[in-house]
Chain A
Amino acid sequence: MAYALKTWNDFKNYQNTCYRNYLYASEGLRVMGSTWSVLAPLKGLGDDVHLMGGEPHAASTAGTFPDESREDIVAAETAGLGFHSCSYLKLFTGEVVRDKIAITDGTIKDGYPKPDLIWTTHLCSQHSKWYQEVSRRLGGIPMYAIDMIGGGNAEKDPKIVNYLSDQIEEGIRWLERVTGREFSDELFIKAARNEIKVLVLWGNICALNRHAPAPLDERRLIALFPPAVVDRTTDETVQLYQGLLKEVKHMVETGQSVVPDQRYRIVYFGIAHTYGHPEMARILRDAGAEIVASVYTFGTCGNFRGIVDGKWSWDPLDPAWVDELDLSTRRKTITELVKIVLGWPTWQGVRSYWALESMARAMITEYKADGLLLAPSRSCETDFRNGYIAMQRIFKSEIPTIEYDSDQVDVRKMDLPGAQRKTELFVHLMEAHKRRSA
Chain B
Amino acid sequence: MMNKSSDAIIERFRSIAGNPHEYAKSLQRKGQLVAGYMCTHVPEEILYAAGMIPVRILTSHVSQAMTRSYMHETYCSFSHDCAYQGLAHHYDFLDLIVTSSSCIHMGEAFNVWVRFAGFQGKSFLIPYPHIIETKPAAAFMAESFGEFKPFLEKFVKKSITDGDLERAIKVYNHTRRLLRRLWEFLRRDHPPITGPDVATVTLASQVMDKQECNPLLDQLIQRLEAEPGKGPSGVRLMVSGGACDDLKIFELLEHLDYSASLIFIDSCTATRYFWFEVPEDRPDKLKAIAEGYISRIPCPAKDNVPGTGEKKRFRFIQQFIEEYKPDGVVFLYQRFCSPQPMDVVALKPILDKLGIPSTDFELDTTLPVTQFRTQMEAFLETIKGVVPLG
Show the binding face of A for B, using Cβ within 8 Å.
79-82, 84-86, 118, 122-126, 128-133, 135-136, 140-149, 159-160, 162-163, 166-167, 170-171, 174, 178, 350-351, 353, 376, 378-379, 381-382, 384-386, 388-390
In this complex, the member of B101, B107, B304 whose beta carbon has the largest number of chain A beta carbons within 10 angstroms is B304
**CB neighbours of B385 from chain A (8 A):** none
The residue on B at minimum CB distance from A141 is B309
The residue on A at minimum CB distance from B72 is A385
Q: Give a binary string over B340-356; 1 marks a CB under 8 Å from any A CB, 0 the rest.
A: 01111110100000000
- CB proximity of B299 to chain A, nearest CB, Å: 9
The residue on B at minimum CB distance from A376 is B72
- CB proximity of B361 to chain A, nearest CB, Å: 12
**B341→A147 contact, CB < 8 A:** no
**B108→A386 contact, CB < 8 A:** yes
CA distance in complex: A386, B79 (Å): 12
CA distance in complex: A84, B249 (Å): 23
The residue on B at minimum CB distance from A177 is B307
CA distance in complex: A126, B74 (Å): 15
**A132→B304 contact, CB < 8 A:** yes
Q: Contact check: which of B105, B131, B140 meets A122 at CB < 8 Å?
A: B131
The residue on B at minimum CB distance from A135 is B309
CB contact under 8 A between A123 and B74, given known A80-B345, A85-B342: no
Q: Give a binary string over B136-175; 1 marks a CB under 8 Å from any A CB, 0 the rest.
A: 1101100110010000000000000000000000000000
The residue on A at minimum CB distance from B108 is A386
Q: Apart from A126-B339, A160-B127, what are 19 other A-B pairs with CB-CB below 8 Å?
A: A80-B344, A80-B345, A81-B341, A81-B345, A82-B342, A122-B130, A124-B338, A125-B104, A132-B304, A132-B346, A133-B345, A136-B346, A142-B307, A149-B128, A149-B140, A166-B139, A381-B104, A382-B104, A388-B72
CA distance in complex: A162, B311 (Å): 25
In this complex, the member of A118, A126, A178 whose beta carbon has the largest number of chain B beta carbons within 10 angstroms is A126
**B304→A128 contact, CB < 8 A:** yes
**A84→B306 contact, CB < 8 A:** no
In this complex, the member of B74, B103, B131 whose beta carbon has the largest number of chain A beta carbons within 10 angstroms is B74
**A133→B342 contact, CB < 8 A:** yes
B71 beta carbon closer than 8 Å to chain A: yes
The main secondary structure of chain A at its interface with chain B is mixed
B115 beta carbon closer than 8 Å to chain A: yes
**A124→B104 contact, CB < 8 A:** yes
CB contact under 8 A between A353 and B74, given known A80-B348, A132-B346, A144-B307: no
- CB proximity of B106 to chain A, nearest CB, Å: 9
**CB neighbours of A381 from chain B (8 A):** 104, 338
B274 beta carbon closer than 8 Å to chain A: no
**A132→B309 contact, CB < 8 A:** yes
What 10 A-B pairs have minimum CB-CB distances, sorted nearest first? A82-B341, A143-B309, A385-B72, A80-B345, A166-B136, A125-B301, A126-B338, A147-B131, A129-B342, A163-B140
- CB proximity of A271 to chain B, nearest CB, Å: 14
B91 beta carbon closer than 8 Å to chain A: no
CA distance in complex: A128, B75 (Å): 19
CA distance in complex: A341, B229 (Å): 59
**CB neighbours of B75 from chain A (8 A):** 385-386
Interface CB pairs A-B, < 8 A, 13: A86-B338, A122-B130, A126-B338, A132-B304, A145-B304, A146-B306, A159-B144, A163-B140, A166-B139, A376-B72, A386-B72, A386-B108, A390-B70
CA distance in complex: A350, B104 (Å): 9
Q: Contact check: which of B71, B139, B309, B343 meets A386 at CB < 8 Å?
A: B71
**A129→B304 contact, CB < 8 A:** yes
The residue on B at minimum CB distance from A165 is B136
Show the binding face of B for A, using Cβ within 8 Å.
69-72, 74-75, 101, 103-105, 107-108, 111-112, 115, 127-131, 134-137, 139-140, 143-144, 147, 300-301, 304, 306-309, 311, 335-336, 338-339, 341-346, 348
CA distance in complex: A144, B131 (Å): 11
Q: Contact check: which of A86, A123, A133, A384 meets B346 at CB < 8 Å?
A: A133
CA distance in complex: A382, B75 (Å): 12
- CB proximity of B82 to chain A, nearest CB, Å: 13
- CB proximity of A380 to chain B, nearest CB, Å: 9
- CB proximity of B35 to chain A, nearest CB, Å: 22
The residue on A at minimum CB distance from B68 is A389
CB contact under 8 A between A170 and B306, given known A84-B338, A132-B342: yes
- CB proximity of A424 to chain B, nearest CB, Å: 23
**B71→A125 contact, CB < 8 A:** no
**CB neighbours of B139 from chain A (8 A):** 163, 166
**B130→A123 contact, CB < 8 A:** yes
In this complex, the member of A131, A135, A142, A143 whose beta carbon has the largest number of chain B beta carbons within 10 angstroms is A143
CA distance in complex: A163, B290 (Å): 15
- CB proximity of A146 to chain B, nearest CB, Å: 8
**CB neighbours of A382 from chain B (8 A):** 104
**CB neighbours of B311 from chain A (8 A):** 132
**A131→B309 contact, CB < 8 A:** yes
CA distance in complex: A214, B237 (Å): 62
CA distance in complex: A171, B135 (Å): 10
The residue on A at minimum CB distance from B341 is A82
**B339→A125 contact, CB < 8 A:** yes
CA distance in complex: A169, B105 (Å): 31
CB contact under 8 A between A149 and B127, given known A167-B134, A170-B306: yes
- CB proximity of A75 to chain B, nearest CB, Å: 13
**A159→B143 contact, CB < 8 A:** yes
**B338→A144 contact, CB < 8 A:** no
Q: Contact check: which of A82, A125, A135, A166 meets B103 at CB < 8 Å?
A: A125
**CB neighbours of B344 from chain A (8 A):** 80, 82
The residue on A at minimum CB distance from B306 is A144
**CB neighbours of A84 from chain B (8 A):** 74, 335-336, 338, 341
CA distance in complex: A132, B298 (Å): 15
**B342→A126 contact, CB < 8 A:** yes
**CB neighbours of A145 from chain B (8 A):** 131, 304, 306, 309
CA distance in complex: A131, B135 (Å): 20
**CB neighbours of B107 from chain A (8 A):** 351
- CB proximity of B302 to chain A, nearest CB, Å: 8
**A149→B74 contact, CB < 8 A:** no
**CB neighbours of B131 from chain A (8 A):** 122, 128, 145, 147
Q: Contact check: which of B71, B134, B135, B140 meets A389 at CB < 8 Å?
A: B71
**CB neighbours of B147 from chain A (8 A):** 159
**CB neighbours of B74 from chain A (8 A):** 84, 378-379, 385
In this complex, the member of B136, B307, B308, B342 whose beta carbon has the largest number of chain A beta carbons within 10 angstroms is B342
The residue on B at minimum CB distance from A350 is B104
CB contact under 8 A between A163 and B136, given known A84-B338, A353-B115: yes
The residue on B at minimum CB distance from A83 is B341
Q: Contact check: which of B101, B105, B341 meets A149 at CB < 8 Å?
A: B101
**CB neighbours of B129 from chain A (8 A):** 147, 149, 163
The residue on B at minimum CB distance from A124 is B104
**B341→A167 contact, CB < 8 A:** no
- CB proximity of A224 to chain B, nearest CB, Å: 29
CA distance in complex: A353, B125 (Å): 13
CA distance in complex: A144, B335 (Å): 29
CA distance in complex: A386, B70 (Å): 7
**CB neighbours of A163 from chain B (8 A):** 129, 136-137, 139-140
